[in-house]
Amino acid sequence: MFFFGDNNGKLYSIGEFVEPDQEIEGSIISIPIKLPQGYWWDRFNVHDNTSADSSINSITYSILDEDKNFIKEIKNGDTIGDITIDRTIRLRADLYAKNLSVNPQLWDWRVTFVVDSVPPFLDKSTFTPDPDGWINETTHVFTIKVKDDGSGLHVSSAEYVLEYSIENETHTGTFDANCTGEDGTRNVETITANISKLDFYQNIT
C-alpha cells in the first residue's frame, strides 16, 4: 500500500494490504547491570506476550557477560544466583515472528538482588606470623588469606579490629586494612594489617 497526505492533514492510501509472510528475527541486549556492594544475584523476571505455539512467535532469553559473551539461557522466574557469573551482566532477548502480523511483545524485564548474608571465609591456618597466635618477638605486620564465593570481596572496605594497651588502659578500635585483588573478586586474597601505620603505635605497650 502507498500512503500520502495533503496540506489539510488528511492521509490517503492507494493499493491493497497484503499480509506479510516473511519470517522476522531480531535481538535486544541490555546495558550492563552491576551488582550493588553486599548483594548477589537472585531471580530473572520478565513480562512479555507470546503465542503458546512457538512456531508463530517466541522470545528466548539469556544471560551474557559484560563483553556480551553467552553464559546461559534463562526463563521467567529462574534463579540466577547459582550460575557462575560476574558482578556485571547483560540480558539478551532473541525475538522470532512467523510474519509481521504476529510480532511477540516484550513489556519489561529485570533481575532482582538478594543480600549476601554469608561472611567471607578466613583461613586461620594461613595467619602470620603464627597461626596459633603466639609470638615471642615484637611484630607489627599481620596477614591472613580470605575468600568469598558469594558476592565477592569488597576489598576497598577491608578492616581489622585491634585490642591494645596504652599506659595500662585497654582500648579496642577498628582500622583500615589492605586487601589484594579488586572489588568483587572471588579469588583467594590476602588481608594485611600493619599496626605500625597507626599514629599511636609507639605508645602501645
Q: Is residue 4 assigned to a domain?
A: no
Listed residue (111, 104, 32, 113) closest to 66, CA to CA = 32
Mapping DSSP to helix (H, G, I), strand (E, B) and coil, where does residue 8 land?
coil
C-alpha angle 134-135-139 in degrees, rounded to nearest 5: 130
DSSP labels for 56-119?
TEEEEEEEEETT--EEEEE-TT-B-TTS---SEEEEEEEEEESSGGG--EEEEEEEEEEE--SP
Checking if the pLDDT of 1 tops 60, the result is no
Question: Are residue 84 and residue 168 in the same domain, yes or no?
Answer: no
Average pLDDT over residues 30-56: 90
Range of the domain at 70: 23-115
Checking if the pLDDT of 115 tops 70, the result is yes
Please report where in the chains the cell 539469556 appears, as a residue: 62
Q: Among 5-19, 42-56, 165-179, 188-202, where is mean pLDDT lowest? A: 5-19
pTM of the model: 0.62
Question: Are residue 106 and residue 126 in the same domain, yes or no?
Answer: no
pLDDT 10s digits, 50-96: 988 888 899 999 999 999 999 999 999 999 877 667 789 999 999 99
Question: Are residue 82 and residue 134 in the same domain, yes or no?
Answer: no
